[in-house]
A and B are shown apart, each in its own frame.
Chain A
Amino acid sequence: MFFEVQNLEKSFGGVKATDNVSLHINEGDICSLIGPNGAGKSTFFNLITGYIRPDSGKVIFLGEDITGKTAMAIARKGIARSFQIVNIFPQLTAYENVMVAVLSQKKRSFNVIHPAKKIDKDEIYGLLQSTGLEQQAQMLGGQLSHGNQKRLEVAIALALKPKLLALDEPTAGMAEEEKSAILETIKTLMKMTGCTILLCEHDMSVIFSISDQIWVLHNGRIVANGNVEEIKNNEVVQRIYLGGRE
């Protein structure tokens, strides 16, 4: 199995944010985790990327148990993530944002001699180009538009040459046309790099256009899974999204 989660649990002060979640992802898929706001999607992302430790359960990546490892170790194993709320290096330029990730991925960050700006220029510009940021390369991260900051998030994550790319609401706060543009970008990137993608969204329309496999999270639990058609016709999913409350 490429990526597997078994019985993952996490509570905050008695509230179960992640309740016995098990799921798996096949290599090469675009897999989506959906659910309304507050369903526990971000918590789940934080658990599998090492931001917080699970109370119990297992996370297995490429046959290796990575449960409870640090964010750095997990990033090194090949899982990169973006954040729902923009999380970049605001006082560094877009180029520098990607540069620090590229250098770190290549284990160059303990190199103290070579000028950083002269290393791997093509690769960095390539990443900026593929996320549509080549024009903004010299702008400070903090001065980019919201949409471009989200793109920068993706570029930073991609710089790590991930096997699994976990994107936490990559379209959050974007206008409709921007959303489809970034989804196109994600699709192209996937073809180009061959990485597997785990996407999380609360907006279903975004998901249906690109997902191979969908998992539905509600109140910290997996309530349904299947392909796009199955999910569209799933009663429980319809109730959660259309009927309001359960």
Chain B
Amino acid sequence: MPAKSKFVWIFGCLIAFFLIIVPFVLSRFWVGTITEILILTLAGISLNFLLGYAGCLSFGHGAFFATAAYTTAILITRTGLNQYFVILLVAPLMAAFLGAIIGILISRLYAFYYAIMTVAFTMILWSIIRRLRDLTGGDSGILGVHFAGFLQEMNNIYFFTLAVVVLCAIILWIIGNSPFGWALRAIRENPVRSSFVSINVVWHRYLALVVSSFFCGMAGSLHVVYTFGAFPELAFWTKSADIVTICILGGINSFLGPAIGSAVLILLETFITSVTLYWPLILGIIICAVVLLMPQGITGLIRNVFNKGRGEFRA
């Protein structure tokens, strides 16, 4: 596969170069949009760690995203603690803690049951957030959350987000290729056989959820850095659906699939909402089209093109 590797390398370098020069060549609006793509990408990669590797479909990743976002916002507005590196550790840990609790209940469940439970939990969280007005600001959320120090200016926020997302992605990539990651793949492929090769299936699925919720929480924290607020919609099921959608759109068999999915989804949303109010309708049609026409996602489509190309050379 030298042609493919070469292509990936060149493409990767171009993307990296582009991401670095973004604030210097694009307007503030686009810097913001790309920041948003990066944040959603991290949420997607964290979900894909669970979905693509362990085969557990969480339809409630918004819960972790929202937990960390609210933790971040509450810590900054209610306490004197305004150290971004402390908060960006504590908030994802809160999300991981929630993941650890939910995991106790659902790690033995499969397929639909797992998905339904996770969506139920995120909706529970959503209604709790709306009720605890004193703490969470109810329906209007918490606004005006500003980090101290350099995280005030859009370009700094952009570079900070980029650095955190890339770092987290690298960590997840390392975990994904470790023996732990391979045990997860084995479980996804065949949970019964996995237990017969002495893999502790429930524990692995549990830990995969905890790891995944931590990194999804990191994305939630970054979201506060970028939007200066936390809102109950983050825990609504549509947020979780977005995260699942970008994974499928990009392709769950590819580590960076969610990045592509996230870029495509947010760019489409940006363009379409500028033309019509009926973005959800278009989104629904896009989702149905992806499911029916390209279930392997965009990366799967690209892979097929490559494989076809090679096949023709051989023939």
Residue positions of A touching B, CB distance < 8 A: 49, 51, 70-72, 75-76, 80-81, 83, 87-92, 96, 99-101, 103-105, 108-117, 119, 156, 159-160
Q: Chain A residues near B182: list those with CB within 8 A.
A: 96, 99-100, 103, 109, 116
Judge if B204 is at the interface, Cβ distance under 8 Å. Answer: yes
Q: Which of A75, A90, A96 contacts B197 (CB 8 A)?
A: A75
Asked whether A90 lies within 8 Å of B189 as measured between CB atoms, the reply is: yes
Judge if B239 is at the interface, Cβ distance under 8 Å. Answer: no
Asked whether A160 lies within 8 Å of B185 as measured between CB atoms, the reply is: no
Closest chain B residue to A70 by CB distance? B195
B177-226 with Cβ < 8 A to chain A: 177-183, 185-186, 189-190, 192-201, 204, 207
Q: Chain A residues near B128: list those with CB within 8 A.
A: none
- Bound state CA distance, A105 and B200, in angstroms? 11
Closest chain A residue to B174 by CB distance? A113
Q: How many residues of B contact A (CB 8 A)?
A: 25
Residue positions of B touching A, CB distance < 8 A: 174-175, 177-183, 185-186, 189-190, 192-201, 204, 207
Closest chain B residue to A91 by CB distance? B189
Closest chain A residue to B207 by CB distance? A110
Closest chain B residue to A72 by CB distance? B195
Distance (whole angstroms) from the CB of B135 to the closest CB of chain A: 34
Decide yes or no: A105 and B179 within 8 Å by CB, A87-B193, A92-B189 being known contacts: no
Q: Which of A81, A87, A90, A111 contacts B178 (CB 8 A)?
A: A111
Closest chain A residue to B189 by CB distance? A89
Rank and list the top 10 A-B pairs by shortest CB-CB distance, nearest first: A75-B198, A89-B189, A109-B183, A101-B197, A100-B186, A103-B179, A71-B195, A108-B179, A116-B182, A112-B180
Decide yes or no: A75 and B189 within 8 Å by CB, A103-B183, A112-B174 being known contacts: no
- Bound state CA distance, A115 and B179, in angstroms? 7
Q: Chain A residues near B181: list those with CB within 8 A.
A: 112, 116
Asked whether A72 lies within 8 Å of B201 as measured between CB atoms, the reply is: yes
Closest chain B residue to A156 by CB distance? B197
- Bound state CA distance, A105 and B189, in angstroms? 18
Decide yes or no: A109 and B193 within 8 Å by CB, A114-B178, A114-B179 being known contacts: no
Distance (whole angstroms) from the CB of A51 to the closest CB of chain B: 8
B181, B182, B200: residue with the most chain A Cβ atoms closer than 10 Å: B182
Q: Which of A87, A89, A109 contacts B179 (CB 8 A)?
A: A109
Q: Which of A88, A100, A108 contacts B185 (CB 8 A)?
A: A100
- Bound state CA distance, A25 and B199, in angstroms? 26
Q: Chain A residues near B199: list those with CB within 8 A.
A: 72, 100, 104, 109
Q: Per DSSP, are chain A's interface residues mostly helix, strand or loop, or mixed?
A: loop
Asked whether A100 lies within 8 Å of B177 as measured between CB atoms, the reply is: no
B177, B180, B197, B201: residue with the most chain A Cβ atoms closer than 10 Å: B197
Closest chain B residue to A99 by CB distance? B182
Asked whether A115 lies within 8 Å of B197 as measured between CB atoms, the reply is: no
Q: Chain A residues near B183: list those with CB within 8 A.
A: 100, 103-104, 109
Distance (whole angstroms) from the CB of B201 to the closest CB of chain A: 7
Q: Chain B residues near A160: list those with CB within 8 A.
A: 197-198
Asked whether A75 lies within 8 Å of B178 as measured between CB atoms, the reply is: no
Asked whether B197 lies within 8 Å of A110 as measured between CB atoms, the reply is: no
Contacts A/B (CB < 8 Å), 11 sampled: A49-B196, A71-B196, A72-B196, A90-B190, A104-B198, A104-B199, A109-B182, A111-B180, A112-B180, A114-B179, A115-B178
Closest chain A residue to B190 by CB distance? A89
- Bound state CA distance, A72 and B192, in angstroms? 10
Distance (whole angstroms) from the CB of A125 to the closest CB of chain B: 16
Q: Chain A residues near B178: list those with CB within 8 A.
A: 111-116
Closest chain B residue to A49 by CB distance? B196
Distance (whole angstroms) from the CB of B203 to the closest CB of chain A: 8
- Bound state CA distance, A49 and B200, in angstroms? 15
Distance (whole angstroms) from the CB of A50 to the closest CB of chain B: 8
Q: Chain A residues near B175: list those with CB within 8 A.
A: 112
Q: Chain A residues near B185: list those with CB within 8 A.
A: 89, 92, 96, 100
- Bound state CA distance, A71 and B191, in angstroms? 11
Q: Chain A residues near B179: list those with CB within 8 A.
A: 103-104, 108-112, 114, 116, 119
- Bound state CA distance, A104 and B185, in angstroms? 13
- Bound state CA distance, A80 and B193, in angstroms? 11
Asked whether B192 lies within 8 Å of A105 as measured between CB atoms, the reply is: no
Closest chain A residue to B201 by CB distance? A72
Asked whether B198 lies within 8 Å of A110 as measured between CB atoms, the reply is: no
